[in-house]
Structure 1
Amino acid sequence: MRKIYHLKTCSTCQRILKSLPKLETFELQDIKTEPMTVKQLDEMRQLAGSYEALFSRRATLYKEMGLKDEVLTEADFKRYILEHYTFLSRPVIIADGKIFIGNSHKVVQQVIDFLAHE
């Protein structure tokens, strides 16, 4: 399976998508217009190892809701990601059983290297 969960309106996501080789081999899902299902999120967690790994602490709502002052559980991370797409660290790229989470230069380079060497 090859899938990318992203935001069509996010310039960072769009820049990353343009930099990826073999983008045409991926199914793209704009999580704002097509929200993730529980099953999709559970599949991501299985690859990532935890919901926390998928959770974005950089989301504006994280601070606005006072979540930075709380101790969150795995169930909390899952619930917040499902409640609002902004809590998913984007983009999430799944390629051939591997998962790449977020937009750091290191992660983007890992995806490009992975796709270039297959």
Structure 2
Amino acid sequence: MRKIYHLSTCTTCQRILKELEPLDGVGLQDIKTESITPAQLEEMHKLSSSYEALFSRRAMLFRQRNLGEKNLTENDYRDLILDHYTFLKRPVILIDDQIFIGNSKKVVEAAKGALHS
């Protein structure tokens, strides 16, 4: 499976998608307009082995809900990601049996290499 979970209004995601082109045969899912399903999150978890790795601490809701002061469990991370799209670290790129999470230069380069190999 080749799929990218992104936010179409995010300029960083837009830049990364442009950098990854061509995206032939890759499904794009805007997580704001099409919510992540529990099954999709489970698939990401299976590849990453951690909900925390998929969780964005940069989300504004993270600060608004004072989540930094709490000891969150894996189930908490799962529930928060399913509760609101901003808690998913973006983009999440699935290429066959590999997962690339986030927007660091190293991650994007690795995803680009896997996508076009």
Shorter-chain TM-score above 0.5: yes
Task: Check whether the contact 1:22–1:115 (CA below 8 A) recurs between aligned residues.
Answer: no
Alignment of 1:1-118 (within 5 A): 1-116=1-116, 118=117
Task: Supply the AA of the counterpart residue of 2:115.
Answer: L
TM-score (norm 2): 0.96
Please report how far the alpha carbon of residue 45 of structure 1 lies from its aligned counterpart in structure 2 after TM superposition: 0.3
Give the deviation of 1:96 after TM superposition.
Answer: 1.1
- CA RMSD in angstroms, aligned pairs only: 0.9
- What residue identity is the alignment partner of 2:54? L
The sequence identity of aligned pairs, in percent, is 59
TM-score of the two chains, using structure 1 as the length reference: 0.96
> Residues 22-60 of structure 1, C-alpha deviation per residue, up to 9 Å, x if partnerless?
312200000000000000000000001111110001111
The answer for unaligned runs of 5 or more in structure 1 is: none
Shift of 1:112: 1.3
4+ aligned runs moved over 6 Å, structure 1: none
Superposition deviation, residue 114 in structure 1 = 1.8
For residue 23 of structure 1, give the secondary structure of its aligned residue in structure 2: coil
In 2: Cα distance, 1:111 partner to 1:23 partner:
12
